[in-house]
Chain A
Amino acid sequence: MDAMRGEVERKQNKIGIAYVFKTCLNCAFLSAAGIILLALISSALPIANTMLLAQLIDEVLRALSESGPSYLPYRSLLMVVAAVFASHVIPHISSFLYSRLNAGLRSGFHAGLLEKTANLSYEHIEDSKALELLDRVFDKPSERMSSILRLVCAIGSNSIQLLNLCVLLLANLWHAAVIILLFSIPNIIISIRGGRKTYDAYKATSRDRMMYAYYEGIMTNRDAVEERTAFQFTESVNRRWRRLYRRVQKIDLNTRLRWDFKICGAGALTLIMAYAVILLLTGSAAAGSLNPGLYLSLSYAVLSLQSVIVWGISFSANQLSEKRVYLDDLASFFQLSAVAGGDGLNGRIIPLESIEFRNVSFRYPGGGADALRDVSFRIEKGGHYAFVGKNGCGKTTVTKLMTGLYANYEGSILINGVEVRDCPAEQINRLFSLVHQDFAKYQLTLFENVALGERELAQRKDAEARVQNILDKAGLGELAAEAGLHKRLGKLGGDGFDLSHGQWQKLAIARAIAKEAACYLLDEPASALDPVSESEAYRQHHELMAGKTAIFISHRLASTKLADCIFVLDQGAIIEAGSHEELLGRNGSYESMYQSQRSWYRGN
C-alpha cells in the first residue's frame, strides 16, 4: 500500500493502460492477477467449446450411423457441459475478485490521491479549473480504474478468441480467416471514433449540465430552503431547468443517433462477412474437406463471432476510449505542483523573534489587480498588532502570505530573518495558530475539535479537564457541560447536534488557543458572535493572548483598540499605522471609519 502511495506521488506526463495494470496489481495483487488469469482462461474457452462440440457431433453422427442408438458418447457430452459450466462460473468469481480489487484500490490508490491532494500548493485550491479537475479525479476513482482494467481484459480476451478462431480456420480454410480479420478492423475503428465523438459531445455540454445540476440543487437542497419557500421560485427555476435538460438531451441523443447507426452499419458488415465465411465453409464441407461436426460447430462459432467483435471488442473499445479520458485527468492531476519544502528553519521549532514584510507586492495567480502594493511592516515578539480596513483591502492576503500559502510574491517576507518561501510548510504551520474568517466546521466531537489544535493534548491524562478549560475560556463551557465532550456535532451521525454559527466560531477560537504556537493570527474572530459575546471577546482575546505575539484582523474597529499597533490598509497598501490614540488624532481614514461606527451609539 505504501509503495502504491509512492507511485501516486510520482509525476507523470502521460498515463497509459500500463499504469492501470501496475496500480491494480500494486493495490490488490492477488485479485488483480486472478482477474487477468480468468480473462486468459475465458479467452480459451470458446475455442475449446467449438472443438468439443465438433467432436461430440461427429461422434454422435458416427454412433447413429454405425452401432445404432444403443451407444452414445456421454464422455464427450460431459466435457461439453464442463466447458459451459466453466464459462458460467468464471464471471461470478471475477466479479467477486473485482469487489476485492475495488476495496484494495480504495485504500491504496484513492487514499494515495487524497494524500497527494493534501500537499497541493495552495494556489490550486483557489483556481476553479484545478478544483473542477479535483472533482473529476475524485469521482469514484477506484471504480474507474477497475472498470478500465475490466474493459482492457474484455478486449484482450475477445481478441484472443477472435485470433483463436482464425487460427482454427486457417488450418482448414485460410481465406475465411483473412475475410474475418479484414472485416473486423473497420468495425473496431468506427466504434473507437464513436466513443470519442460521444465524449466530445459530453464535454461540449458540460457547462449546461453543471448549470442544470445547480438549478436542481437550489430546488432541492437545504441551503436554499428559506428563499425557496419564501419566494416560491421552484416553478420558474424548474422551467429553466427543463429547458437546459432538454437541450443537453437533444445534443446527446443526436450524437448517439449518428454513431449508433454508423456502428450498426459496421455490425451489419461484419455479419455479412460471417455469412460469407459460412458459405465458404458449407462449400468445403460439401466437397468433403471438412467433416460435418467441425462444419456445424465452426458455423455456429462464426455466427457468434458477431457478438465477440461487436460487443466484446468494438463496444468495449468504445467504452474504453470514453473512460481513458479519466487517465488524462489523472495525468494533469499529477502535474499539479505540491508544496515545496525547503529547510530554512532546519526543522527545529524555534521561538519567534520577528516577522517582517519588506516592500511586498502580490497579485493572485490568474488575475486581477494587485492585492498588495509595496507593503512593509515589522511584527516583534510579544506585541499585539491589528490590521483594519474595508472589505477587499488586502487584510486577509497579508495573513495568507505570512503563513506561506503563496510563494510568488515580490519583495521579502522574513520570519526570524528567513525568507518564508524557503521554510517548510510544516514548520510554518507549527509557528502560527489561526482563526480563519471562513473557519471550518468539523463535524467531530467537541473534544476532537479542540484537540485538533494540539494533538499531544489528546494523549495526556488530564486531557478532558484541559479541553473543558479551553472551552470555558472560549465561552463554550456551558454547552460542553450540557451536551458532553464526546457527542458528535453536526448532522452526519444520527444523534449529532448542531451548533449555531456563533458557537462554531467560538469552537474555532478554542481550537486556536489549544494550539501552542509562537504567533496567533485571528481573522475576524468575532464576526459571528452576538453583541455581548463580541464585546466580551475583544477584551478576552487580548487577555488570552497576553504575553504572546498576536495579530488581529478586523473591520470592527472596536476590536483593535487594544492593539499596540494598528495598520490601516486600503486597496492593498498600508495608509496609516500607529496606536488607537495616535490614529484618532490624525483625522485620517481610521478616524472617519471609527466615527461612522460610533454614530450608532451617540446621543445618550
Chain B
Amino acid sequence: MAIKAASESSRKMAVPKIMRIALRNCPGIYILCAVSCICVGSIQAVNTKFLQRFFDSALALIQNGGSANDAVRHFALIALLGISNEFVTSIYYYMGRALDSSAACAFAEEFNKKLAKAAAVCFEDHQFLNDLERARAGQRAAVSALSSLTAVFTSNLSYLVIMYAVLHSIHFLLPLAILLAFIPVLAGQFLHARLFSNLEEQMAPIRRESLYYEKCIRDKEFFIETRQLNATDFFFRKYLEALALFNKKAVQTEQKSAAVNLASSAASEICYASVLMLLFALLARNQISAGSFTAVFASIGMMFANLKNMADSQVTQISKNYGSIISYFDFIEREERTGGACGIRPGDAIHFSNVSFQYPNAHAKAVFNASFDIAPGETVAIVGKNGSGKTTLARLIMGLYLPASGVAAIGRQQTKDIAQGGLRSKWSAVFQKYQRYKMTLGENVSISDPKDELDSGQAEARVREALQRAGVVAGGFQNGLGTMLSRDFGGVDLSGGQWQRIAIARSIYRPHDFIIMDEPTSSIDPVEETKLYELFSELSRNKTAVLITHRIGAARIADRILVMDGGRIVEQGTYQDLIDRKGAFYDLYEAQAKWYQKD
C-alpha cells in the first residue's frame, strides 16, 4: 500500500523533482544554462522585428529611393544580433553539456545511495531486479528530460512571449499565428502520449532476450562451450527469432508514429496556409508592407519549425520516457528497511527460535523452523547438501535477511529491529562468492572498513597486518599495496587461491566480534585448502564464528556442528557426538572419508 502511494505521488511530481535535484546539486550551472537559453529564444524572436525593419527600408531604397542610411542602420542591427546569437548559442550548448553531465552525476549518486540501503533479499526478487533495470533507464531519461524541460521553459517560452509582442506590433491579428501553430503540435503530442505510453515496458523484455542469446554466442562466459557444443546455430536461430519479434514491434510502432506525425503535419500545414492567407489578405489591404510580409513569412516558417522541433525532440522525449523517469523516482522513494541503532555487545549470544525464511517467488521455504543458540566465543559449523539452506541460514544469522517468522536475536535485540547497516557493525564475513575488486591490493582489503582512507598511516599498517595474517606477502607485488589487481586497469591478474586469501584479509581488516566464513566450493587445490582451514580455525579463535563447509572433515575445527537438510536443522552437536550418533552427519562424513581409507 505504502509503495503504491509513493508511485501515485511521483506520477504527478516527476517534473518538479527533476528540477529540484538539479537546483540542489548544480545551481550555478543550472541558472547559467537557463539564462543562456532565454537569450537564445529572445534573440530569435527579436530577429523577426529587425528583419522586418531592414526589409522595409531595403525595399523602400530599391523601389523609390528611400534613405540608404536607414537600410544600413537596420542592417547593422541585424548583423549585431546575428553575431551575438552565434555566441549565445555556443554558450548555451556548452552550458547544456555541463548541465547534462553534472545532473547525470547527481542522479547517479541518488541511485547509488538508495541501493546502499536496499535490503539484500530484494536482489533475489526478479520484480525488484526489473524495477532496478527500469530505474537505471529512468536515470538516463531523467537527465535528458532535464535539459529538454529547461529548454521548453526558458528558450521556447521567452521566444513565444517576445514573438507575440513582435507580431502584435506588426498587426494585431498576427499573434493568431502562434495559436494556430500550437494546436496541431499539441494534438500530435496528445496522440503520441496515448499511443506510446507503455512501449518501453513492452519492448524491454524482448530486447533483453535477444541480447541474452547474443551473449550466449559471443560472451566470454559462453563462447567456448557454445562452440564446442556446435550450438551456435541453435542460439543464432533463437536470436533471430527474438530479433524478428523485436523488429516487427519496432517497425509497427514507427509506422503508427509516422502516421500520427503525418496527420499532425497535415494539420500544421493547414494552419500554416491559413496564416499565410491572413498575411496575404493583410498585404492585399495594404495593412502590412511587402517587407513585413517577407520578414513575417520567413519568421512564421521558422516559428512553426521551432514549435514542431520543441514538440518532436523535447516534449516527445519527455513523454516517451515519462514512464521510466517515474520508475526512477519510485525506486528512489522505495520503502527502506527500518529499525533503530544496534545495541549488540561483544559478549552477546545468538538465539534463534523457530526461524523460517522464504525467498521471493520461491515455492518452498529455504529455512524452516530453525532453532539453536550460539554462545559468545563459540565456533559453529554448518554442513549439509547443496540447497539445504546453509548460506541462507548464515545470512539470517548476520541479519542480511530477516526471518519471515520466528525469532532471530543477538543478545536481547531481534535482527529485524536494527536498521540496515547497524547490525553489521559487529560482523565480518568471508563470502562464498567473494568479490574480486578491480582496485589496488590495499583497497581490496580496506574496503571492508571504509571509514579510514587508505593513505592514513594507521590504516596502512592495519592492511599490512591483515594481509600478513591471511598469508599474502604484499612485498611480492610489483607496487606493494598500490598494485592494481586488474588487467583492465593496467594491473596484474591473480590466481583463485590468492584472491581467496585477499578476501580473508578483507574480513580480518574489518573490526568484528562475530564472523561468518562461507567456504568457496571450487578453485582451491588440496594443498591450499588445508592451509585455508588452518586460517579459518585461527580466525575463529576468541570470536563468535560460523563456518559453512563442504569438507565434512574440516568441521572438526568447530565447537559445535549444525547439520542441515532441506531447510531444516536435522542434527546438532559436537563433532564426536555426531560421528558416534551415526546419523545424517556420519553419512556425510563417510561419503567423503571412504575415498581416503586404505582398501
Contact = CB atoms under 8 A, between A and B. Distances in A.
Given A238-B113, A556-B526, A601-B553, A122 B587 contact: no
Contacts of B530: 596-597, 599-600
A598 B596 contact: yes
Interface stretch (A13-21, A32-40, A352-360, A433-441): A433-441
Contact of B218 (A84, A117, A436, A555): A117
Interface string A423-439: 00110011010101111
B435 A292 contact: no
Interface in A458-508: 491-494, 496-497, 500-503
Nearest to B305: A88
Given A64-B290, A264-B86, A599-B530, A238 B109 contact: yes
Contact of A535 (B62, B225, B579, B592): B592
B218 A425 contact: no
A118 B126 contact: no
A72 B525 CA distance: 96
A93 B255 CA distance: 9
Interface string B219-255: 0111111111111101010011001101100110111
A550 B334 CA distance: 54
Contacts of A223: 433, 435
Interface in A362-393: 389-392
A159 to B, nearest CB: 21
B311 interface: no
Interface stretch (A96-104, A149-157, A407-415): A96-104
A440 B222 contact: yes
Nearest to A496: B126
A282 B71 contact: yes
B220 A527 contact: no
Contacts of A432: 228
Contacts of A297: 294
Contacts of A252: 97, 101
A84 B272 CA distance: 9
Contacts of A222: 123, 129
Given A81-B273, A538-B595, A529 B489 contact: no
Given A224-B435, A282-B71, A257 B596 contact: no
A236 interface: yes
A224 B116 CA distance: 11
B495 interface: yes
A556 B298 CA distance: 83
A241 B579 CA distance: 52
A102 to B, nearest CB: 7
B94 interface: yes
B441 to A, nearest CB: 16
B8 interface: no
A80 B301 CA distance: 11
B375 to A, nearest CB: 23
A187 B528 CA distance: 66
A551 to B, nearest CB: 14
A134 B594 CA distance: 49
A230 B424 contact: yes
Interface in A191-231: 207, 210-211, 214, 216, 218-220, 222-231
Nearest to B584: A532
A227 B247 contact: no
B488 interface: yes
A230 B258 CA distance: 51
Interface residues of B, number: 163
A141 B532 CA distance: 47
B356 interface: no
Interface stretch (B9-17, B382-390, B462-470): B382-390
A253 B58 contact: no
B398 interface: yes
A233 B523 contact: no
Interface in A235-257: 235-238, 241-242, 245-246, 249, 252-253, 256-257
Interface stretch (A161-169, A170-178, A267-275): A267-275
B262 A425 contact: no
Contact of A600 (B387, B554, B597): B554
Interface string B486-498: 0111100001110
B526 A524 contact: no
Contact of A597 (B388, B433, B596): B596
Given A267-B86, A500-B386, A527-B521, A390 B109 contact: no
A99 B236 contact: no
A397 to B, nearest CB: 13
B251 A100 contact: yes
Given A60-B293, A106-B247, A231-B449, A600 B551 contact: yes
B229 A106 contact: no
A229 B420 contact: yes
A532 B591 contact: yes
Nearest to B213: A114
Contacts of A125: 220, 223-224
A233 to B, nearest CB: 5
Contact of B593 (A216, A267, A278, A604): A604
Nearest to A100: B251
Given A253-B101, A300-B298, A597-B530, A225 B120 contact: yes
A532 B285 contact: no
Contacts of A286: 61-62, 68
A442 interface: yes
B217 interface: yes
Interface string A70-83: 00101001001100
B539 to A, nearest CB: 15
Nearest to B210: A106
B14 to A, nearest CB: 21
Contacts of B236: 111, 114-115, 118
Contact of A429 (B116, B228, B437, B487): B228
A56 B109 CA distance: 58
A131 interface: yes
B591 A88 contact: no
B20 interface: no
B153 interface: no
A457 B528 CA distance: 42
A296 interface: yes
A296 B55 contact: yes
B200 to A, nearest CB: 15
A582 interface: no
A84 B230 contact: no
A367 to B, nearest CB: 11
Contacts of A534: 550, 591-592
A531 B550 contact: yes
A535 B591 contact: yes
Contact of B488 (A92, A128, A220, A604): A128
Contact of B90 (A134, A263, A533, A597): A263
A512 to B, nearest CB: 9
B424 A114 contact: no
Interface string B429-452: 101011101100000000111110
A99 B115 CA distance: 36
Interface in B265-295: 265, 268-269, 272-273, 276-277, 280, 283-286, 290-291, 293-294
Nearest to A451: B234
Given A292-B62, A502-B386, A601-B593, A275 B126 contact: no
Q: Which 4 residue pairs spanning A and B have beta carbons closest together?
A: A600-B553, A558-B595, A527-B522, A236-B450
Given A233-B447, A555-B524, 5 more contacts: A268-B83, A392-B495, A492-B208, A503-B386, A528-B521
11 contacts: A88-B268, A110-B243, A230-B431, A236-B447, A238-B113, A256-B94, A256-B97, A268-B87, A282-B58, A432-B228, A532-B591
